[in-house]
Structure 1
Amino acid sequence: MFSGVFITLRFECIAIAGRDIYLEEKNTKSFMILYNGRIVREDYFNGHSKTASWYWASAGKTLTTAVSGIAQEEGLININNKVSDYLGTGWTSVSTDKENLITCKHLLSMNSGLDDSLGDDVSPANLQYVADAGTRWAYHNVYVKVQDVVAAASNQTWDNYFNTKLKEKIGMTGLWTDLSDLSVFWSNTRSMARFGLMISAKGTWKNTQIVPEAFLNEATNTSQDINKAYGYLWWLNGKSSYHLPQSQLQFNGELIPNAPADMYAALGKNDQKIHIVPSKKLVIIRMGDAGDGENFAVSTFDNDLWEKLNALIK
């Protein structure tokens, strides 16, 4: 364990260590380190600013996870129930018996069994069978149907439920926008940090439980038997193997070897990141363009960044 004073002084030496240059050269727009709930480093690069918004990309999937936990706590949904209980049959193009195998938990765990090769469109015609739910892990935009489940169960729009149950309660700004077939959240960096802090505090904000702690414990642990490094839309470090988007291969070893084993992360296209490390009381935020070539979630930038952080964190 290290003291807050020590870690603050270490992070104030980042520029001397050359990391400011590294971040700027790696197309970073904003970077923030929070220790024990406090900002110890906040930087903006490449024309970005404290008030400017940027897209979360797939890092925003974890917002859907959080709201699902809230809706379940309120008795509106049960993630173990089949999706068709809320949306009716015919929300996919697969047979009714196969469709009824798919639960909300399968969507949150990315093992619905639906074809991930057909793009991001989640209309019924584009949701086709590959395998029984629970038997195949594949990174798929179909998780957004959980938003439809919450909207149907709460009898209001997803935006309204999200705003009143999560965004406004922790003082976030930002909004959802539709880009092609994707629903993407945009906000400033501090709003992303607020969400990361709330999650790191076991779902609490100013002594108020926002997301149930027990649900978060599930969400940030292995959710299925195929990809050990995946919870409910959260990526998990420290596991013995992992899968990556657009691949059915299993890779042995940790997801991000240079990062602490207990780290879990919200990861989005082109290196949008929330890294949470309970053992070190750290939340790390990064927004920007791709640091090392276009990517969908995990990239080499994660591991390179932690190599540099490890030189500062003792």
Structure 2
Amino acid sequence: MKSPCILTLTLWLFTAQAFAQNWPDEHWSTAPVSPSPALQALEDYAFPPRDDVTRKGIRTDALLVIRDGQLVYERYAGVTNADTPHLTWSVSKSVMACVLGVAFAEGRFQWTDSVAKFYPPFNAHPDIRLEDLLHWASGLDWQEDYEYAPLNSSVVAMLYTHGRADAAAFTAAHGVASKPGTAYRYSSGDSNILSAALRTMVGEQAYPDYPWTALFEPLGIRSAVWESDRSGTFIGSSYAYMTARDLARIGLLMQRGGRWGDKQLLPKAWVEFNLTPFAHVQNDAVNEVPGGQWWLNRLPPRESDLATRPWPDAPQDTFAALGHWGQAMYVVPSTNLVIVRYADDRDSSYRHDQLLKRVLAAFAGEGAQ
């Protein structure tokens, strides 16, 4: 057993290390990198010439890289600039997971709780737990297609037609396709049920300000806007906006295990849950490895060690918040990198792995694996 003196010294060293790290205050400290062939290769990929009439090809609106807590690269295009709160689309889901993490720290729920405990319309589905929603595994019969089949799309109906008044209620009315927790089925509806459950967890009075008081203000985020449906529930699946610099603060929080300065804002158990692969992913969907509303570069436990990771040119510990039309925030703890990309990609030409490969070469060295 360690002596009291050694334990005290260990705690002091941990606290000193926390303060020694770079943390943004009102602004990020900067340490711009010098031009290099690797940086030019990154820019050639992220900012190519594009025909805005056809809207085909890669269109990056913002690219920002944080290394060791410092802003080392930043570039904008079009009407987007450092002060633009950009629509994050489904990156919103990962942001909501962080908001829920603060509620978890406050003891407001356990991830094994029944959803019906916090959202009564789910009384018809008593076996669906919060962790099932977090894994996009509620088992509800949901169709997430956008442009491919808009007339059959559950998410299009939820956001723009039948469900726009109350996204959670619209989702709860869906039938059952599989047993809860046994199959991954990506669903913006699951994410909006989580947002509605949060409303009960924190109470009607606190809810309208809760993302700000719980998460945004402690991180120094000033630009955030989050749209609600007509019922007053945040559209947790899709409609958070913030600047690239502010979104990077959430990435740094997750890169450092839920800690912000000397405070453990998100419990380590919550971060670990978010970053653990959901076990029940079909073999043909291994290019999408869900955690708890985050996307992972680690394979589910039952997959062969020989299987290809979603982003093979990035380290295994890489994880991401991803959204429609190319929105992305990548976190690479082993290289202390946080990457934010805002975009308007209208085709399938953009590849996460290709951007990550070039960022790693420019900012972490080619051998960063």
1:133 aligned onto 2:180: yes
The answer to whether the 8 A contact 2:60-2:77 is kept is yes
The two structures, once aligned, show a CA RMSD in angstroms of: 2.8
* Structure 1 counterpart of 2:43: 20
* Structure 1 counterpart of 2:108: 76
**Range with bigger deviation, 178-187 or 104-113:** 178-187
Whole-angstrom distance in 2 between the partners of 1:178 and 1:193: 23
What do the CA deviations read for 1:75-105 (whole angstroms, capped 9, x no partner)? 21122111101112x337xxx3xx1110111
What do the CA deviations read for 1:41-62 (whole angstroms, capped 9, x no partner)? 1111123211012111111111
Following TM superposition, by how much is the alpha carbon of 1:183 offset from its aligned partner in structure 2, in angstroms?
4.5
SS of 1:311 mapped into structure 2 = helix
* Structure 2 counterpart of 1:247: none
Q: Which has the higher strand share?
A: 1
**Range with bigger deviation, 185-194 or 208-217:** 208-217
Whole-angstrom distance in 1 between the partners of 2:302 and 2:242: 30
Gaps of 5+ in 1: 244-251
Aligned length, in residue pairs: 290
- Normalising to structure 1: TM-score of the pair? 0.83
Paired AA for residue 139 in structure 1: Y
**Range with bigger deviation, 177-186 or 17-26:** 177-186
Q: 1:136 to 1:50 in 2, by over 3 A?
A: same
> Which has the larger Rg?
2
Following TM superposition, by how much is the alpha carbon of 1:175 offset from its aligned partner in structure 2, in angstroms?
0.9
* Structure 1 counterpart of 2:269: 214
* Structure 1 counterpart of 2:208: 159
The answer to whether the 8 A contact 2:42-2:355 is kept is no
* Structure 2 counterpart of 1:233: 293
The answer to whether the 8 A contact 1:240-1:253 is kept is no
* Structure 1 counterpart of 2:224: 174
Whole-angstrom distance in 2 between the partners of 1:16 and 1:253: 27
* Structure 1 counterpart of 2:13: none
* Structure 2 counterpart of 1:58: 90
Whole-angstrom distance in 2 between the partners of 1:204 and 1:144: 26
* Structure 2 counterpart of 1:188: 243
Following TM superposition, by how much is the alpha carbon of 1:213 offset from its aligned partner in structure 2, in angstroms?
1.6
Whole-angstrom distance in 2 between the partners of 1:301 and 1:179: 32
- The percentage of aligned residue pairs carrying the same residue is 24
Q: 1:116 to 1:103 in 2, by over 3 A?
A: same
Following TM superposition, by how much is the alpha carbon of 1:145 offset from its aligned partner in structure 2, in angstroms?
1.0
SS of 1:293 mapped into structure 2 = coil
Whole-angstrom distance in 1 between the partners of 2:178 and 2:315: 34
Gaps of 5+ in 2: 1-21, 23-30, 49-57, 144-152, 159-167
The answer to whether the 8 A contact 1:241-1:253 is kept is no
Paired AA for residue 110 in structure 2: N
Following TM superposition, by how much is the alpha carbon of 1:307 offset from its aligned partner in structure 2, in angstroms?
3.1
Q: 1:235 to 1:183 in 2, by over 3 A?
A: closer
The answer to whether the 8 A contact 2:279-2:302 is kept is no
Whole-angstrom distance in 1 between the partners of 2:201 and 2:332: 34
Whole-angstrom distance in 1 between the partners of 2:103 and 2:262: 20
Whole-angstrom distance in 2 between the partners of 1:83 and 1:159: 20
Whole-angstrom distance in 2 between the partners of 1:167 and 1:266: 17
Paired AA for residue 232 in structure 1: G
- Normalising to structure 2: TM-score of the pair? 0.72
Whole-angstrom distance in 2 between the partners of 1:161 and 1:226: 33
* Structure 2 counterpart of 1:143: 191
Whole-angstrom distance in 2 between the partners of 1:187 and 1:133: 33
1:267 aligned onto 2:322: yes
The answer to whether the 8 A contact 2:115-2:130 is kept is yes
**Range with bigger deviation, 302-311 or 27-36:** 302-311
